[in-house]
Amino acid sequence: MRPPARLAPVLLAALLAALPRPALAGQAVTVTVIEEVVEEAVPAVGGEGGSDRFVAAAARAPNPRGIAAFGPFRVLDDNRAALVDATDERSPAAFAAMLKAHPGIRLLELVECPGTDDDRANLALGRMIHARGLSTHVPDGGSVRSGAVELFLAGVTHKAEPGAEFAVHSWADEDGHEPSDFPMSAPENRIYLDYYREMGMSAAEARAFYDMTNSVPNAQARWLSAGQMAQWVRYN
């Protein structure tokens, strides 16, 4: 997911220490079973119409076949759909077509979501998910990575099961620039902060979350368990 300059999502780690972090969910429970891991990721490569930004990984859960397919979406039943692949410039239209054919869908399951081939279209899709009042859910074994994390945030409510995983990283544009190469007030950064605010975060929460996602370069990935993601996103 990324903006007009065909951006693909780092701010310095020092910023993380300077900003208030949300209270840990379930902090009384022992240490998190899955520790945060930083690994090499698939670098983003700018393309026409928007950047691609994703993290490759072995599938952890089988993709449901569903009763109908619309691009990367699968209709599971009258009330539920699943996202099972990367999004691209056609995904907003596929989402609209799915809801036109199945207007009762209220829940989007994020099953195998490596990211996006078009960051700008991905943000537009997130706004559509939010505007239609869908909730987002990551099942046990579900994997939500890179640009797909913005779609998880798009739910009017969101929840992740204990066996779910997330991967975040910095964006990079086609010239190799990353967030820290621009002022925080620049459009390249504001587009994400504005998006997070639209998804329900306060200004402080949006900035803290953005800094966290940008805490590793685009060529790497920071892996989070469902419990660790709950430090940043309220489950309901």
Burial 38-69 (b: 16+ CB within 10 A, else e): eeebbbbebeeebbbbbbebeeebeebebeee
Tell me the per-residue pLDDT of 183-227, one tens digit each, with 9 for 90 and over: 999 999 999 999 999 999 999 999 999 999 999 999 999 999 999
For residue 198, give the CATH number of its domain: 3.90.226
Average per-residue pLDDT for the chain = 81
Band (pLDDT 50/70/90 cuts) for residue 51 is low
State mean pLDDT over 120-144.
97
Q: Quick one: angle between helices 187-198 and 203-213, nearest 10?
A: 120
Residue 56 lies in a domain: yes
Number of domains making up the chain: 1
Structure tokens belonging to residue 125: 């899709």
Domain that holds residue 105: 13-20+33-229
Tell me the per-residue pLDDT of 169-188, one tens digit each, with 9 for 90 and over: 998 888 888 999 999 999 99
Residue 3 lies in a domain: no
Reference 42, options 133, 156, 141, 172; nearest CA is: 172
Residue 6 lies in a domain: no
Give the residue carrying structure tokens 């993290």: 55
